[in-house]
Structure 1
Amino acid sequence: MKQLDKGIHAVANIQSQALHAGFKSDAAHNDLALIYFPTGATVSGVFTQNLVKAWPVIHGQASLKHHSNFKAILINSGNANACNGPDGEKTMHQAIQELADLCAIKPSEILMSSTGVIGAPLDFFPFKKALPTLVNSLQSESSQAVSESIMTTDTVAKETAYSLEIDGQTVHIGAMAKGSGMIHPNLGTMLAYIVTDIACDQVTLNQLLKNAVDVSFNSMTVDGDTSTNDTVLLCATGENSIDLTDHNLATIQSLITKVSQDLAQMIARDGEGASKFITITVGGAQSTEDAKAVAKSLATSNLLKAALFGQDPNWGRALSAIGNSGVETLDPWLIDIIFKSDIGSIQPCRNGAYHPFDPQFAQKILTATDIEMIVELNQGTSQATVWTCDLTHDYIEINADYHT
């Protein structure tokens, strides 16, 4: 597997562009992006499980039930087009129709995503004004402008790409995402777009994407809030016609999972106000589901996340979160807890009780940017990993200033 630096443009025959249309107040920040597949792409999607959904999510879910091949993905940032009544739906369809006319394609070949402030009206005029320029300036060299344009409270753009030889042919995969706050399984305020050049039917893509999402985007949390707009799209352009044998599918699955986990970890690292990236691994569980439930309970504990920000290995808060995980078969007297970083490790809890450790060394360990928390339940052989970040003063400031 070879790492590439082109994002979605690691895959040939894809065009993209971004510009400022006016959804964000600062003209220096692009806020409208287009990903275009000249020969089309088979698309699979996973969306938010929040019952309150943005119009593009409702449209995308319906479109993918009836169609498998698409040519364009239109993305605006700065306005979520959610909870804004029928006018939001009307504007979305107007934008899709305008883009279809400009590209000489069908409206049914277009998917749309939005991210930004929830509840704000969305006007069609910025689309009408910007779309001709956006379409006429499509290029196939760099996706950086697009990945930056979809950012809201993100501090960095998020892209990843790889190539891999399979049966003598080179398979390419590229991906980009945005997300920083309101991040929580199942999916958070995040948009992710994964593109590969394999030829694959939608049913198979659905399974590949589901498998990848379960161990990536649904295995991270920043603040426990699930958004109205979450979208992950997997697009296959069909340029590479390798045989989809069981062995080759397993290899392709590993590629899709890899880019998904890359993006998930980038999002957790870029959590709003975060100062630490935390990997929580729970082992010794009776099932993977139990392990994941415990890991998620730890990752969403504000008390624990605040303690780690304060460089405190608060194993009591950790035990409490484990007990609140909903896993009824847990034996609390078997639980071990370890904190690690590149500085060293400590075990403050053994068999569900205090285990002697050096508090000063513990604090030193937790000064690291990357921290690993290992929980051993000692009741089985299953394990799961979840990524999160600490809870800081900056998180409160960012969200206190993010107005509707």
Structure 2
Amino acid sequence: MNIKMGVAKAGIKPSGDYDILVVKFPLSVYSAVFTQNSLAAAPVLYDRLVCEIQDRILALVINSGNANAATGQKGFENAEKMVEITAECLGLDKSEVMVFSTGVIGVQLPMDKVENGIKQACQNLQDLDLELAARAISTTDTFYKYYETTGMIDGEVFTVKGIAKGAGMIHPNMATMLAYIFTDVKIDKDLLDKATKLVVDRTFNSISVDGCESTNDSFVVVATGESKVEINDSNRVYFTKKLYEVALELAKMIVKDGEGATKLIEINVFQASSKEEAKKVGEAIATSNLFKTAMFGNDPNWGRILSAVGQLHLDIDFSKVKLYLGDFLLYNGEPIEFDRSAAIEYLKNNKEIVINLYLSRGEQEWTFYTCDLGYKYVEINAEYTT
């Protein structure tokens, strides 16, 4: 794919690491999903306007270290200024550029540093380097999140690749995260919007680290149309699966990197009466601090799982419910004798834990991802701005 990027160390991050990323690509169809937090950040407000008037875009500009959220009219003007600087440097119309920010809330952007950083990034464009791009948008991340795959339709190869950031303040809708996926397929915007919605519901809107919904969450899929592969009704399912593969891997990386996390926890809810019910049940377990701290302590305390489900008041008949921790059946309508020591060892020795819950109410299912909650999370967030 003919995608170029530039990065800069503008001095926004206290660490002095890269904090500006500019990405330029051919005029492309795109689809975007944003946070539903009422305190949406200035760049989110700006980008929503772009989405209303523009079906195709040419560039993204992103800063990390400052969220430009809860910054009022000046914050909105600064977001627009970032777009204007980028458009001027790249010779584009400002309506073809989207802007994103991530970092500390409630602090105005240091626009002199931002402007210099954007100009530097635009002057040093190179081929897209996923690792370097992911590094430039990271904040409290402990590793850089990127993934790519290829697919084949009618003998022609296409590519899907993406980057993401996020570790804390992760919860639908959406999770504090930024994620960008690039593909070279030809696709109609309406079809891309449908695929993106399906994918985001099962990935970035099905993860939680701490139950805290961010002000800046943004997920964008860009389709450059450079390959010979054209997505239509006959192959859209296959393409969507590839898009899902990349989004899911990125989403799981975010959960794995949950601030202070030691375990990725996959919660599968089966035999629900509806997908909505299955998702709600999975989310209730994923956001239970009692459950998450038990997982951190390697405690197979299944009562915390079922009580989290019970507080939803869904009139579930728990005499028909089955609950597994890995291969251990913990509950089958009543307490089950299980090898507690072996279950503890399962929790101690595995970085990825699986919970399977069967509700016996229907045929629908959902998978939700979370992580454990430990001491480090409190330390990181207690000292976040100090």
TM-score (norm 2): 0.97
Equivalent pairs: percent with the same residue? 38
What residue is the counterpart of 1:190 in the other structure?
Answer: 177
Aligned residues: 385
Unaligned runs of 5+ in 1: 1-11
1-side partners of 2:115 and 2:128: how far apart?
Answer: 26
What residue is the counterpart of 1:298 in the other structure?
Answer: 285
What residue is the counterpart of 1:268 in the other structure?
Answer: 255
Contact 1:180 1:268 (C-alpha < 8 Å) held by counterparts? yes
2-side partners of 1:371 and 1:325: how far apart?
Answer: 23
1-side partners of 2:59 and 2:230: how far apart?
Answer: 26
Deviations 1:167-210 (CA, angstroms, capped at 9, x unpaired) = 12111110110010111112120000011001222221111100
What RMSD, in angstroms, separates the aligned Cα atoms of the two structures? 1.2
Q: Which amino acid aligns with 1:180?
A: A
1:330 aligns with 2:316: yes
2-side partners of 1:228 and 1:66: how far apart?
Answer: 23
What residue is the counterpart of 1:55 in the other structure?
Answer: 42
1-side partners of 2:278 and 2:287: how far apart?
Answer: 14
1:362 aligns with 2:343: yes
Secondary structure at the residue paired with 1:338?
Answer: strand
Match for residue 386 of structure 1 among 348, 362, 368: 368
Unaligned runs of 5+ in 2: none
Match for residue 166 of structure 1 among 150, 153, 162: 153
Secondary structure at the residue paired with 2:65?
Answer: strand
Contact 1:348 1:357 (C-alpha < 8 Å) held by counterparts? yes
Output aligned runs, 1:173-252, within 5 Å. 173-252=160-239
What residue is the counterpart of 2:3 in the other structure?
Answer: 14
2-side partners of 1:256 and 1:325: how far apart?
Answer: 32
Contact 2:29 2:56 (C-alpha < 8 Å) held by counterparts? yes
Secondary structure at the residue paired with 2:224?
Answer: strand
What residue is the counterpart of 1:372 in the other structure?
Answer: 354
Output aligned runs, 1:346-361, within 5 Å. 346-351=328-333, 353-361=334-342
Match for residue 286 of structure 1 among 273, 279, 294: 273
Q: Which amino acid aligns with 1:296?
A: E
1:87 aligns with 2:68: no
Match for residue 106 of structure 1 among 78, 85, 93: 93
1-side partners of 2:376 and 2:128: how far apart?
Answer: 36
Contact 1:17 1:143 (C-alpha < 8 Å) held by counterparts? no
2-side partners of 1:121 and 1:350: how far apart?
Answer: 54
Contact 2:184 2:224 (C-alpha < 8 Å) held by counterparts? yes
Q: Which amino acid aligns with 2:372?
A: D
Q: Which amino acid aligns with 1:354?
A: P
1-side partners of 2:40 and 2:230: how far apart?
Answer: 38
1-side partners of 2:338 and 2:380: how far apart?
Answer: 36
Q: CA deviation at 1:152?
A: 0.8
Match for residue 125 of structure 2 among 138, 149, 154: 138
Secondary structure at the residue paired with 2:312?
Answer: coil
2-side partners of 1:315 and 1:141: how far apart?
Answer: 46
Contact 2:131 2:145 (C-alpha < 8 Å) held by counterparts? no
2-side partners of 1:263 and 1:324: how far apart?
Answer: 31
Q: CA deviation at 1:370?
A: 1.2
Contact 2:59 2:97 (C-alpha < 8 Å) held by counterparts? yes
2-side partners of 1:245 and 1:151: how far apart?
Answer: 35
Secondary structure at the residue paired with 1:330?
Answer: coil
Q: Which amino acid aligns with 1:321?
A: A
1-side partners of 2:54 and 2:72: how far apart?
Answer: 26
Contact 1:161 1:259 (C-alpha < 8 Å) held by counterparts? yes
Q: CA deviation at 1:141?
A: 5.0
1-side partners of 2:231 and 2:134: how far apart?
Answer: 30
Deviations 1:259-280 (CA, angstroms, capped at 9, x unpaired) = 1111111111111100111101
2-side partners of 1:324 and 1:375: how far apart?
Answer: 16
Contact 1:282 1:294 (C-alpha < 8 Å) held by counterparts? yes
Q: CA deviation at 1:127?
A: 2.3
Contact 1:16 1:143 (C-alpha < 8 Å) held by counterparts? no
1-side partners of 2:367 and 2:147: how far apart?
Answer: 21
Secondary structure at the residue paired with 1:102?
Answer: helix
Q: CA deviation at 1:329?
A: 4.2
1-side partners of 2:46 and 2:185: how far apart?
Answer: 26
